[in-house]
Every structure is written in structure tokens, then in C-alpha cells.
Amino acid sequence: MKSFKKHRQLKKPEVNNTKTGEFIKYELEENIKTMKVLFKDCSDINFRFITAGDTKACLVFVDGLIDAASIETSGIRQLLEETERRQLTADYLKEKVIAINSVSETEQIDDALNKILGGFTVLFVDRIDKAIAFDAKGTIARSVAEPETETSVRGPREGFTERLRVNTSLIRQKIRSNRLKIVSKIIGEQTQTNIAILYIEGLAQPDLIDEVMARLDAIKIDAILESGYIEELIEDNSWSVFPQIQNTERPDTVAANLLEGRISIVVDGTPFVLILPVTFWQFLQASEDYYNRYHISIFLRILRVLFVFVALELPALYVAVTTYHQEMIPTNLLFSIASSREAIPFPAFVEALIMEISFEALREAGVRLPKIVGQAVSILGALVIGQAAVEAGIVSAPMVIVVSITGIASFTIPRFNMAISIRLLRFPLMILAGMFGLFGLVLGSLFLLTHLCKLRSFGVPYFSPLGPLSFKELKDVFIRAPWWSLEMRPKQTVKGNRRRMIDHLKPPTTQRYGEEGE
């Protein structure tokens, strides 16, 4: 792997800072007074006072984020009553009083504030200058279900949820190794969003890990509401239309990429997990390719690669040929196209532009509307409006066919972020084809190819292993070779421990029962 591109240090934005810098005091009343000032006009913050003999305490938590039953079963009141004659300390409270996992102590008001807002319950006790935070979360979360954006015929049906620890546990179930490391960070001055960086020690390169950590630490922003925020803030080339970080809802996809030396970033509050670094060809591969027999996977991968070119260049090719290069069209087909376009008042470029924009609008409407209504709108738009446009003489029948094939081709791309990039690039290619014919189409294609070869994803060439060329790595690009031949991990992401299996795992040819020797 080449040396990583130095991350440009941008000017940090001014963000609201609510840190006080105060330490927790011995007097309970002073601590509660400070907390009430910080939580002024926050009706969901509860202060539950406990008195046990001479001992006074107060539990502070967010109503709706905690499980009241957990606090009751912890027996805090009863244990405080039993220890009313004892000189209480923070260590004693932690070890003897709080009967819940994930217990920690803090000396600063700011830390206690962040714990409360993170769903923890914080216990303040009189005459103790520390607070005890324990996990009694009880928020309602969406259950693990099948991913909606990455459906498959064969493979696991589970998908990520909006809970960070649920997502990390799904990955941990796939990779039951102590070499799977999970590093936690908090980003966002206002949201205090928890994120987790996952990698396998010994497979992920140390310089890659350091680069990812450095880019994440450089983020100073008021809010992180989805993993897309982080994706834009850490990618190599923010001006490129091509995605340089993969997102997925499937735990098996994350596990497979971790085993190839990549790094994953899990963000609390979203089911989309980031994977980096990536190459262009990863976006044309589906997890199902590795579960089906390799004959089927080879056919599907070749089909996807062919239809990527169809989705990108077919409308531009039609505009260029019908406008400037009619001699390239067979005579019978040329007469058919000419007769269908005889009553059309627009040139081929305008006709293609109208149809493509209409098709994209119908697709967007189908996505934004409720599922049942969205499907009806898509079918109605494709059938009724398309047929009516042809009969009205606004567009020609061949153009409807070209746009329909182009739309179907874009649906064959497994990753949505790559599919929408291809759909976007279709328009500048159509403009070049309408202005300069095939020369413009070739010029635009060469520009895209050059850009892909120059692009990097955390130091990894985006177009590898095709550019730069590596024949040994091509067995898992355009095709998916049999599993017994995929002995080595990709050299773009793993340098040391590249072997993933032993040699000679190809199944032997056995004799049929009842033949020689029987």
C-alpha cells in the first residue's frame, strides 16, 4: 500500500460548548443545584432523592432512557439503609451498593452530564466528592430484521439496527476472536454520538488504523446524526462523485471485509456501517456471490459489469449515433428509427434528456412515497405516461426502450451509492454526446477512467487490481473463483498474514460406490 495521503487540516468550525470544568463537591445540595441549572427547562430529567438514616443521595436520569425496574432491583435504598452507620466511599458504593454492570465513577460535573445524556443513571451521595454512573438503559429499540436495501436469496437475514452495541454484538457473533478490536470514540459537541472502530489485529495495517483514528479525531462538529456525516468528513477526495467508503446494513458483509484487513466504523443511531478502504469493484459485488456456487457468481458478476456500461453510456451512445453517425446503423434499423422519430419535434438529445429526467423523477417519487403507493406510482408512470408520450409524439418508441433498458441496468448494481453515482454521470456524457458525437462520448469516458485510476481510498488505488494491474488479484474481481482457489487475502489491504486457508483444499475426485475394489 502506498503512503497515506496526509489529511488536510481544515479550519475548525465554532461550535457551542457547554462544558463547565467544575468538580463534584462534597455537599449533595451544591451538586444537585449545579445539575438543575445545567438541566434548566429539561422536563425529561428526573431527580430522585433517597434518604436512609443520615445518608442522603439523589439519582439523576433521563426519563424514557432508563429502565426503572433495573434501579428498583439494584436495591440501592435497602443497601444504603444497611450501611447508614458506615462511612461511605465511592469505591464501597461501586463494589457493594450498585448491583448493576457497567459501573464507573467520575469526579467532574461534565462527565456526569455526558453520562446522564448518554442514558446512564448517576448517583450523587452527600459527603462524597465523586458520582457513581451505572448502566440502567431501557430504551425501546427496533429489533433485528432483514436489511431492506441489501436483499439476498441466500445468506443471513439479519441486519443492523440503530443501537450501537446491538450492531457490535452482531459482528462479534460472526468473528469470535479476541483479535477483533472495538475502539470507542465520542464525536459531536451537542449530540455526543458514540462510534466504534472495528478491526482485526494482525490483519489491518497499523498505519491504516492510525490514519483512520487521526481523521476521526480531527472532526470538530456540533452533531453527528448518521454515518453519512463521518463518510464525507474523512474521505480522500470530497469532490469526486464516486463513493470512497462503502456502507452496508449486513453484518456478514462487515465481517467478510474485516477478515480482509479493512476497518469498519459503527455509528450509534443508524443501521448503516462504514467499511474502508474500498475499491471500485467492491461496489459491483454482492455478499450473495460468496454463498452461491462459483458458476452462478461468475455469470452474475460479468452481467453486472456489462450492465454498468449500459447504465452509464447507452443513452449517450444512442444520442451520438442517431445525431452524428447514422451510417453506423444498419439500414433496416435506421429506417425504423427514422420513421418513429418523423413526428418528434425535438432532437435526440432533448428527447433523451426529457425521458431521463422524467424517469429519475418517477423513481424518486416511488422511493419517497409509502411502499404501496410508491409501487403504484412507478408502474403507472412507466406504463401509462410512457405510452401516452409516444402516442402524443413527444418522444419516440426507441427512446423509451433505451431509457427502460438503462433503468433496468442501473438496478443491477448492488450498492445504492454507486448506482446513483452512475445515474448522475449519465447526464454529462449525454451532453458531450449531443455536442460532439462519439468523440465527446470517448472523451468523457477517458476522463472518467483517468479519474478512477487517480482516485485513492485511504491510500488504496480505487481501480485496483485493474489499475495498477495485478493478475493474481483478478480471480475475485470480474469473476469469483472457487473458494478453494482463493487462498490469499487481497494484497491492497493485507501485507503480513495474507494466507486465509491451507493449500490443496480442492475436493478430491472419488470413485463411485460399487466400482473397482467393491
- 379 pLDDT band, cuts 50/70/90, is low
Most confidently modeled of 129-138, 336-345, 378-387? Answer: 336-345
Mean pLDDT of 145-156: 87
How many other C-beta atoms are found inside a 10 Å radius of the C-beta of residue 313? Answer: 22
Q: What does the pLDDT look like over 68-101, one tens digit per residue?
A: 766 666 656 555 655 555 566 777 776 666 666 6
Q: In this structure, what C-alpha cell is assigned to residue 294?
A: 462459483
Cα separation, 429 vs 444, whole angstroms: 6
- 318 pLDDT band, cuts 50/70/90, is very high
Please tell me the predicted confidence (pLDDT) of residue 385: 76
Instruction: Report the b/e string of 378-416 with b at 16+ CB within 10 A.
Output: beebbeeebeebbeeebbbbbbbebbebbbebbebbbbe
- 32 pLDDT band, cuts 50/70/90, is very high
Q: What does the pLDDT look like over 410-429, one tens digit per residue?
A: 999 999 999 999 999 999 99
Does position 505 have pLDDT exceeding 90, yes or no?
no
How many other C-beta atoms are found inside a 10 Å radius of the C-beta of residue 460? Answer: 22
Cα separation, 177 vs 255, whole angstroms: 12
Does position 384 have pLDDT exceeding 80, yes or no?
no
Please tell me the predicted confidence (pLDDT) of residue 42: 87
Q: What is the Rg, in whole angstroms, of the alpha carbon atoms belonging to the chain?
A: 30
Please give the full DSSP string across 368-404, using - where no structure is assigned.
HS-HHHHHHHHHHIIIIIHHHHHHTTSS-HHHHHHHH
Q: What does the pLDDT look like over 127-143, one tens digit per residue?
A: 888 888 888 777 667 78
Please tell me the predicted confidence (pLDDT) of residue 452: 94
Cis? peptide before 277, omega within 30° of 0: yes
Please tell me the predicted confidence (pLDDT) of residue 82: 56
Q: List, in sequence order, every residue forming a beta bridge with 360; answer none if it has no partner.
A: none
Does position 406 have pLDDT exceeding 50, yes or no?
yes
Please tell me the predicted confidence (pLDDT) of residue 431: 95
Mean pLDDT of 112-122: 87
Contacts of 201 (CB under 8 A, 6+ apart): 179, 180, 181
Does position 512 have pLDDT exceeding 70, yes or no?
no
Please tell me the predicted confidence (pLDDT) of residue 473: 87
Share of residues in the chain with pLDDT > 90 (%): 43
Please tell me the predicted confidence (pLDDT) of residue 423: 92
Does position 510 have pLDDT exceeding 80, yes or no?
no
Please give the full DSSP string across 203-268, using - where no structure is assigned.
TB-HHHHHHHHHHHHT---S---SHHHHHHHH-S-TT-SS-SSEEES-HHHHHHHHTTT-EEEEET
More confident residue, 175 or 148: 175
| Among 499, 493, 491, CA closest to 262 | 493
Fill in the DSSP letter of residue 499: B
Cα separation, 427 vs 255, whole angstroms: 36
470-478: long-range contacts, CB 8 A cutoff, minimum separation 24: 477/281, 478/281, 478/301, 478/302, 478/305
Please tell me the predicted confidence (pLDDT) of residue 227: 94
Please tell me the predicted confidence (pLDDT) of residue 208: 94
Contact 249, 157 (CB under 8 A): no
Contact 249, 149 (CB under 8 A): yes
